[in-house]
Structure 1
Amino acid sequence: MNLFLKKDIRTEELKYKRWLIYIAVFLITYLLLLTSIAPKKHNLSVGDIAPVDIKAPIDTIDEIATQEKIQEAIAKAKEDKQYSVKSEVKTQAIDNVNKLFSKISSEISSSKEAKDKLTEVKKIDAFKLSDDEYNTLLALSASQVSDVQTITVNTLEEVYSKNIEDNNYEALQNARNIALEELQSNNLDRSLEECLTTIVYSQIKPNFFIDTEKTEEKIKEAEKSVQKEVIKKNQIIVKEGEPVTERQIEILEELGLLSNGITKSNVSSFLALAVLVALILFIQFSYIYKERPDVFKNTKLITLISSINIIVLGLSMGLNIISPYIIPVVCGAILMTILIDYRISLVTNLLNLIFISIIVGFNPS
């Protein structure tokens, strides 16, 4: 019984040690790689002279410049208002005129008293004429009514041949001038001309309105069409010896290059790196567990493998400063093959190449 108990305790201790090794290797590897991807911080403010050229460590979107371009595009889209013509305005105006003259014609041919005729004509509420003006129309002959009706309709056709913009006094005045010229060209009796002028003026209304929906669509299209301003990797943001502007400070803050805190982009990069390191180490340990359980259960061998990996990464960081060509990638693989197993060496070092790629900044040269 004691023998089994001791064996269980021994197994638990080994599991505990392996977890400690995994966590320790994760932390050491993560911190080593973090120093490679973490951008150098600068203590600068507006007006300071840059001691060195400051370059963008990664490709990033210049959010401020992009927003400025979007606002410019929106402003232009708002200036270029979208209009729509309401053809029913013209149709209604002509219908009103036809109804009026139809009523006039009907009353002229009737045998009613003049007073009753006037009362009936006034029931056409689309017009507000004086009694004298109504009487002028009622004094016309049947053939004259037809001619006057044609003149009035043609005048409105001419008026609405050009759009009359809403809330535009000049457009409304131009339409009235067109109507007046058209009526005067017919050489009508003065009182009749004045009467028709009143009729036509009352039917001149705006038919050209701002289309809110189309304008909003235009604004959205303009916003979508704006290309994002990209700051390329290694693009110089601040040149050495030049004073730092407020705009440059904003860009440096976006990139997390100022020593005044951590940006969201930094946090996302750090979290992504942590996930990547944890995943690669998990694959390495899982492969060893599957292919060589004896090695996996031997904490000394696991420690040896982990130590070789960490030493190779440490040397890679140091030697990368001189030249990436002297990074001892093969050295670690050969050592692991001799001491442990060629399959473990192959898989482990292939995965380590991802870490080394991060150290050299994914530079193929």
Structure 2
Amino acid sequence: MNRNGTSKQGNAGTAVAPGWRQSPAVRWMLMALFVLLFYFSLAPHVIPETYDITEGAVSEKDIKAPFQIRDEKATRLAEEEAAGRIVDMYSNVSLGNESLVEQILFRIEQLNMDDQVTKENKIQIYRDEIPGRYVQHIDSFIQSNRKTGTYSESLLEEMARVAKAQQYTIPEETFYKMPQLTPEQLQEMRSVARDIVRKLTSEQLREAETARMQVAELVNASTLSSRTEREIVQELARFSIMPNRFLDEEATEEAKVQAKQNTPPVVYNEGDVIVKRGETITADMYKLLSDSNLLQDKRHYWPQAGLLILSLMSIIVIYAYLHHSGGLGGAKPKYGNSQLLMLWLIFFINIITMQIIAFTQTDTAPYAGYLAPAALGTMLITLLLDLHLAIISSFLFSIMGSVILNTQPNQLFDFKFGFFVIVVSLAAVFSIHRASQRSTILKAGIMVSLFGSASVMAVLLLTEQLERMPFIYSVAFAFASGLLTAVLVIGLMPFFEVTFGILSALKLVELSNPNHPLLRKLLTETPGTYHHSVMVGNLSEAAAESIGADGLLCRVGSFYHDIGKTKRPNYFIENQTNIENPHDTIDPKLSKSIIVAHARDGVEMLKAHNIPKPIRDIAEQHHGTTSLKYFYHKALKQAEEQGIEPAFTEDDFRYPGPKAQSKEAAVVGIADCVEAAVRSLRNPTVEQVEAMIQKIIKSRLDDNQYNECDLTLKELDKVAQSLKESVIGIFHSRIEYPDDAKTKERTN
């Protein structure tokens, strides 16, 4: 036995058949229950609900999105609407209108200065050449910008098309007036024409005609005095004015693409109603539900298979640890089905508490999940079962917490909650594993609060989630989680102790309180036995711990092992103060009956006070089936004196047993004999103590008293060494050391 192992075995109820606790069939049933617990507790969070509906039918209930679902068709329509709202994009491009009018006037000046060309030829040249300069100017501009890549090809083509389409036609009579112009006139005209063209093309022009209509007014307001000059400048200015604002198809398309990209997708968030109760299932709705795998006839079984594998892996981890630690094997396994059932119940309670907290979470308050008492399970496992099993369970609770408390759409696990659960669970394990008082649970709860708050704070800082109120709420809820865990553990511990007959360290410490009614009775009615029991407790605790047994159980068991002596206290030598020994005047067989009855009486008294079975077992088994040799030999002597043949054997003077079934019962039995034997010695030496301990152990070993417990010879040697050291320490002033004995001999 050990404190976190079989010492916690007890009666889980008298109505169940005794063999169920070690039945392999029951064990496998419990393993299957673990798988079902893991599967069905996680299924609502990872497997969406499916619906048996048909297109055109009326929905009998609200169909809600189990996770975020994107409506592709509605999203495409929204994108097209956004793109449709984009107006055509235009680019402003100056085509160099001023340079065109200057080139024309410069050409007129050159040609007019040439006397070799007749007036008729000049008119013909102007008629043929000037209109073509418009197209040449546009083509030259396009070619130049195509090389530099300043504008897109589509925009350049649009420029050429629009500008050429809006070319102005110079009246025929204008060409006849051009040969008359002198260089002075042309110089004056060049300045005026350039200014007019610059002014009118400085504004955005999609239609050149708009600006051309203003040319006459500006020319009339100019400094030109000659009518011919004004007419020619007016026509050339109109000819040189081109549109400078062009439709940019590429920019328009890019803006539409950008608008589509910026359009948020149409989604149903987790919990949103897709189809309302009483609503007709349209073709679009049916397709959406089908694409989201929410229809039974379209159901995919991969998530179920994945969850089943995860559940099996979880129970394999538990089974592997239990098997590796020897908890499920051997004649007396450390973990019976009672412990497995209790472990399942702890997992169930811990998962249920996380599920309850998960219901309080919302999209705006996901931090409510930190209130979950996630360390509840590991605390209970540490206190009632085993520390290492609690550590293994912590990782399983972490996985479950990251799924159950997950608020991230389209994510299977939420790292924040998984990290929080593992931190608080491990903090609970290492804070509570040496608990000896109920107040230790509260202290452990405070440690869980501190570590939980620190873990939440660390994650929020790392992810830069620093909004003031959510940050404060998250840390505060994590702190409250530890306190809530401590309260629940304190409340649940009595339930497990009573239901499963658990003898936890906390329960043992409570039972060792001298104010317990039985211990008060022992102290007041049999002070000698009380002192003997306390001494046996000191000896047995150290001896048990030396072989890895439960020292605390041995100490407390020793306090109660002779409680049956309170029924007839005067018949036991340690309580016979200033009185005659009653056994001197009664029959040895009666003396034997009185002595052996104290074990049976003790068990009955312990049962009446609901003392756990492991302590009752120590009271019943600490003498085993040993012989009361003193009374046996006294009976033989009386028979010899009476001259009659004894009608009894030595077996008639034995305790009824049973023999020690555990290491703890065996150790208490040895310590009981050793303490009584040492007390009977007046001036014991170290050699006498060591020989006496070896004699007691050998006598019991030869009497087959340890055949039914798993004590080894090596462990018996350790017990003997521990008892020797403890006896020397307790009775130090009475025991003579070898050197002291030799000194006395020389003195004598």
TM range (shorter): 0.5 to 0.7
Q: What letter corresponds to residue 84 of structure 1 in structure 2?
A: S
Counterpart pick for 1:51 among 24, 36, 60: 60
Q: What letter corresponds to residue 153 of structure 1 in structure 2?
A: R
Question: 1:206 is paired with a residue of what secondary structure?
Answer: coil
Kindly indicate whether residue 133 of structure 2 is the aligned counterpart of residue 126 of structure 1.
yes
- Once the 2 structures are TM-superposed, how far is the Cα of residue 208 of structure 1 from its aligned partner? 1.4
- Residues 1:137 and 1:347: Cα distance change in structure 2 (over 3 Å): same
Q: Structure 2 unaligned segments of length 5 or more: list them.
A: 1-30, 135-168, 360-374, 408-476, 482-748
1:203 matched to which residue of 2?
A: 240
Counterpart pick for 2:387 among 343, 348, 362: 343
Counterpart pick for 1:82 among 86, 89, 101: 89
CA distance in 2, matches of 1:239, 1:64: 19
- Residues 1:126 and 1:276: Cα distance change in structure 2 (over 3 Å): farther
Q: What letter corresponds to residue 178 of structure 1 in structure 2?
A: Q
What's the CA shift string for 1:238-281, capped at 9, x where partnerless? Answer: 33233334454344335432223147xx85x5587467557756
- Residues 1:106 and 1:34: Cα distance change in structure 2 (over 3 Å): same
Kindly indicate whether residue 298 of structure 2 is the aligned counterpart of residue 261 of structure 1.
yes
Q: What letter corresponds to residue 206 of structure 1 in structure 2?
A: P
Q: Is the 8 A contact 1:295 1:302 kept in 2?
A: yes
Kindly indicate whether residue 110 of structure 2 is the aligned counterpart of residue 106 of structure 1.
yes
Kindly indicate whether residue 189 of structure 2 is the aligned counterpart of residue 148 of structure 1.
yes
- Residues 1:148 and 1:342: Cα distance change in structure 2 (over 3 Å): same
What's the CA shift string for 1:324-355, capped at 9, x where partnerless? Answer: 99xxx9789868986xx513431343344357
With normalisation by structure 2, the TM-score equals 0.35
Question: 2:296 is paired with a residue of what secondary structure?
Answer: coil
What's the CA shift string for 1:282-323, capped at 9, x where partnerless? Answer: 76577668xx5555998x989979975995599679989x98
Higher CA-based Rg: 2
CA distance in 1, matches of 2:288, 2:296: 13
Counterpart pick for 2:255 among 218, 221, 227: 218
Kindly indicate whether residue 104 of structure 2 is the aligned counterpart of residue 95 of structure 1.
no
Q: What letter corresponds to residue 179 of structure 2 in structure 1?
A: L
Q: What letter corresponds to residue 163 of structure 1 in structure 2?
A: Q
- Residues 1:280 and 1:220: Cα distance change in structure 2 (over 3 Å): farther
Question: 1:237 is paired with a residue of what secondary structure?
Answer: strand
CA distance in 2, matches of 1:305, 1:218: 71
- Residues 1:359 and 1:118: Cα distance change in structure 2 (over 3 Å): closer
Q: What letter corresponds to residue 200 of structure 2 in structure 1?
A: V
With normalisation by structure 1, the TM-score equals 0.64
- Once the 2 structures are TM-superposed, how far is the Cα of residue 68 of structure 1 from its aligned partner? 2.9
Question: 1:126 is paired with a residue of what secondary structure?
Answer: helix
Q: What letter corresponds to residue 342 of structure 1 in structure 2?
A: D
1:13 matched to which residue of 2?
A: none
- Once the 2 structures are TM-superposed, how far is the Cα of residue 151 of structure 1 from its aligned partner? 3.4
1:178 matched to which residue of 2?
A: 214
1:227 matched to which residue of 2?
A: 264
- Once the 2 structures are TM-superposed, how far is the Cα of residue 191 of structure 1 from its aligned partner? 6.8
CA distance in 2, matches of 1:317, 1:39: 23
2:179 matched to which residue of 1?
A: 138
Question: 1:202 is paired with a residue of what secondary structure?
Answer: helix
- Residues 1:159 and 1:244: Cα distance change in structure 2 (over 3 Å): same
CA distance in 1, matches of 2:293, 2:269: 15
Q: Is the 8 A contact 2:170 2:239 kept in 1?
A: no
- Once the 2 structures are TM-superposed, how far is the Cα of residue 136 of structure 1 from its aligned partner? 0.8
1:159 matched to which residue of 2?
A: 200
Identity percentage over the alignment? 17
- Once the 2 structures are TM-superposed, how far is the Cα of residue 95 of structure 1 from its aligned partner? 1.4
- Residues 1:107 and 1:335: Cα distance change in structure 2 (over 3 Å): closer
Q: Is the 8 A contact 2:189 2:229 kept in 1?
A: no
Q: Is the 8 A contact 2:69 2:292 kept in 1?
A: yes
Q: Is the 8 A contact 2:48 2:66 kept in 1?
A: yes
Q: Is the 8 A contact 1:32 1:314 kept in 2?
A: no
Q: What letter corresponds to residue 215 of structure 2 in structure 1?
A: A
* Equivalences for residues 63-82 of structure 1 within 5 A: 63-77=72-86, 79=87, 81-82=88-89
- Once the 2 structures are TM-superposed, how far is the Cα of residue 157 of structure 1 from its aligned partner? 2.2
Question: 2:246 is paired with a residue of what secondary structure?
Answer: strand
- Residues 1:296 and 1:180: Cα distance change in structure 2 (over 3 Å): farther
Q: Is the 8 A contact 2:350 2:376 kept in 1?
A: no
- Residues 1:231 and 1:311: Cα distance change in structure 2 (over 3 Å): same
Kindly indicate whether residue 242 of structure 2 is the aligned counterpart of residue 238 of structure 1.
no
Which structure carries more relative contact order (alpha carbon 8 Å, separation 6+)? 1
What's the CA shift string for 1:94-122, capped at 9, x where partnerless? Answer: 21211221232233344334246557766
Q: Is the 8 A contact 1:33 1:355 kept in 2?
A: no
* Equivalences for residues 27-38 of structure 1 within 5 A: 32=40, 35-36=43-44, 37-38=46-47
Question: 1:260 is paired with a residue of what secondary structure?
Answer: helix
Q: Is the 8 A contact 1:29 1:310 kept in 2?
A: no
Kindly indicate whether residue 51 of structure 2 is the aligned counterpart of residue 42 of structure 1.
yes
Q: Structure 1 unaligned segments of length 5 or more: list them.
A: 1-22, 166-170
Q: What letter corresponds to residue 177 of structure 1 in structure 2?
A: M
Kindly indicate whether residue 289 of structure 2 is the aligned counterpart of residue 252 of structure 1.
yes
RMSD (CA atoms): 5.1
**After alignment, is 95-104 or 150-159 more displaced?**
150-159
Q: What letter corresponds to residue 92 of structure 2 in structure 1?
A: V
How many residue pairs get aligned? The number is 324
- Residues 1:172 and 1:130: Cα distance change in structure 2 (over 3 Å): closer
- Residues 1:191 and 1:312: Cα distance change in structure 2 (over 3 Å): farther
